[in-house]
Structure 1
Amino acid sequence: MKSDTLVSVAMEPHQASFRSYLALARLDHATKHVFIIPGIILAYALREPPLDHAAVSIVAGFASAVAVASANYVINEWLDREFDAHHPSKQARAAVRLSLSPLLVYAEYAVFAAIGLLLAWQLGTSFFWTSVVFLMSGLIYNVPPVRSKELPYVDVISEAMNNPIRLTLGWTMIDPSTLPPSSLFIAYWTAGAFLMGAKRLSEYRDISAIAGPELLHRYRRSFRYYTAESLTVSCFLYAMMSAFFIAAFLVKYRLEYIMAMPFIAVLFSSYLWLALLKNSIAQRPERMFRSKRLIASLGLAVFALLVTSFIDMPLLYDLSRESFIPVDRLK
């Protein structure tokens, strides 16, 4: 009965306004582009490029990223409208409740994509092609016949790709001549998988409790293959993999970053704690900055990375050398 009520409320059509079409772009989700910032910081700390036009590049780069992401959101909301009707909160989206023109929706997608790529072109080849990949990732995730969001675990891995893409966008704003190290790229990717897995875990727990698993299955086919236990274990796996590649990056490129690792671990733990709360903001990452605990954890991690980026700690290099204890000393 609950699920029938949800669908009937969601599917009442109303005429759309310009503001309704603009809502498809989810400009309020621009906070997600905070994941670009570490790319900027690390590119500067590790590459030390000239910063003659850095401010202009950063502003244009963020504008480009927002535009490309908005194009992805437009196509996401339009193609998900029938499925979102089964979601307790997403049923309120404009594409579900309103009568939209397909022509205008696709025109809006094209406009945001064009603006994003035109801005990206001004920032160099590396940034431009990274933006193209960003746009393509939205098509792979949302558009049939691939529509990776319908495939269990593939949905998490493909959506998480947005994380290393944002890292690369930030990096190439500062140093367009190189790309981030592979260890950092994979660490960012698996960290994104952890975030997306935690989001699905929170959705699974809440929607199953409200309306049962059947409604959840109609909302997203991939949930037919998930359980709360399997999602929890997957989050643990993604976090472990991310920690491994973070450590590999730290040891290889700047050993001082090891001192920031405990703060990064606390950040992961804080996000998982949020995901386990009822009606968690983990389901709506654009609202993550409303959590004081998460903000404090993020602030400490960023501060630790900043400090260890510019303060040398020679003692760490002494401690990292090979050292074996002779048996004779134990007698």
Structure 2
Amino acid sequence: MNQIKNIAKLLRPAQWYKNLLVFVPIVFSGNLANLHLLMLTFVGFLALCAVSSANYVINDLIDIKSDRRHPEKRKRPLAARKIKIWQAIVLAIVLLIIAVGISAGLDINFFYAVAFLFGFSLLYSLLLKREPFLDIIAIGINFVVRAVAGVFIIGVETSPWLIACVFFLALFLLAGKRHSDAAFLGKNAKKHRSTLKIYTPTITNALMIITTTLLVVSYSLYSFLSDNTSYLIFSLPFALYLIFRYFSLVYTGSPIARHPERVFLDLRMDIAMVLWAIATLVILYFL
């Protein structure tokens, strides 16, 4: 039973929320009620979860030594020696086989997207995460790939402004994470992540302001210029609250900023997300 728990931790299911971006095209194209397309998108979501977990396993294998020196990451199964290296390698291979099998059966372009996601994530683990600014841009690109993968599955066009929103959302979350990581690790920050030598408070403050502005502007433009309905502008107040609330979490030292997957632990964020989702669905499907 403990081994199953360790494997589950190694797969990092809490990070699968990123793969929900594959549902963005079907929701905003007005096809959510199409059960066939919805099922295909769900299957695509499973493929993305498999390839994402494979990447997390590989990343933990690469970072196993540095993770053992980190106050939080040292508790990861590989770093804590709860899972053997050969077991992790086998697990990564199995996950990749599952991802390839599912994606190849769905759509060739979706398969290419999954292959790119794996390859680019591997490049991130080996190189890009050690390059300031390129690290957050790389993760932003991976967010976009997940959304575009959803476009390939259902075969519809989507607004470039919607894709821009996804990209800037990723940059916003990553800027907040870098700021919070540096604050949490303090003087030891540089020892745990080399890029934190560059991500000084001045730099991360500027990044937070820039990415917040870009996210607000891109979502506002999408709301105004949406091909489906001009009423999306009425969802803007909820979106703005979510952005500003998260911004405040970054600067009040909340652990949520270091772990965005825990955002659901914040009641105000939960209420705002539900209200935004209801407003968006009503506008897209009933107005």
TM score, norm. by length of structure 2: 0.89
Contact 2:23 2:41 in 1 (8 A): no
Structure 1 residues 200-254: Cα deviation after superposition (integer angstroms, max 9, x where no partner): 111111211xxx2xx2111111000111221121021112122222233333323
Q: Which residue is 1:155 aligned to?
A: 135
Distance 1:80 1:114 in 2: 23
Distance 1:99 1:239 in 2: 40
Q: Which residue is 1:166 aligned to?
A: 146
Equivalent position to 1:42, from 19, 24, 28: 28
What letter matches 1:227 in structure 2? T
Contact 2:128 2:138 in 1 (8 A): yes
Contact 2:178 2:199 in 1 (8 A): no
Contact 2:179 2:205 in 1 (8 A): yes
What letter matches 1:127 in structure 2? F
Q: Which moved more, 1:131-140 or 1:28-37?
A: 28-37
Q: Which residue is 2:177 aligned to?
A: 199
Distance 1:102 1:153 in 2: 31
Please state if 1:76 is matched with 2:76.
no
Q: Which residue is 1:287 aligned to?
A: 262
Shift of 1:71: 0.8
Over alpha carbons, which structure has the higher Rg? Answer: 1
| SS of 2:207 mapped into structure 1 | helix
Q: Which moved more, 1:164-173 or 1:195-204?
A: 164-173
Shift of 1:19: 5.0
| SS of 1:180 mapped into structure 2 | coil
Q: Which residue is 1:53 aligned to?
A: 36
Q: Which residue is 2:250 aligned to?
A: 275
Pair 1:239–1:108, CA change in 2 (3 A): same
Pair 1:68–1:280, CA change in 2 (3 A): same
Shift of 1:170: 3.4
TM score, norm. by length of structure 1: 0.78
Which has a greater percent of helix?
2
Pair 1:224–1:30, CA change in 2 (3 A): same
Distance 1:245 1:101 in 2: 45
Q: Which residue is 1:234 aligned to?
A: 207
Q: Which residue is 1:248 aligned to?
A: 221
Structure 1 residues 119-178: Cα deviation after superposition (integer angstroms, max 9, x where no partner): 1122212322222222123112102xxx111111111111122322222233444x2x23
Distance 2:179 2:40 in 1: 37
Pair 1:91–1:56, CA change in 2 (3 A): same
| SS of 1:94 mapped into structure 2 | coil
Shift of 1:21: 4.5
Q: Which moved more, 1:164-173 or 1:48-57?
A: 48-57
Structure 2: segments with no counterpart, 5+ residues = none
Equivalent position to 2:167, from 185, 189, 199: 189
Distance 2:102 2:116 in 1: 15
Distance 1:66 1:150 in 2: 24
Structure 1: segments with no counterpart, 5+ residues = 1-15, 313-331
Distance 1:50 1:121 in 2: 25
What letter matches 2:224 in structure 1? V
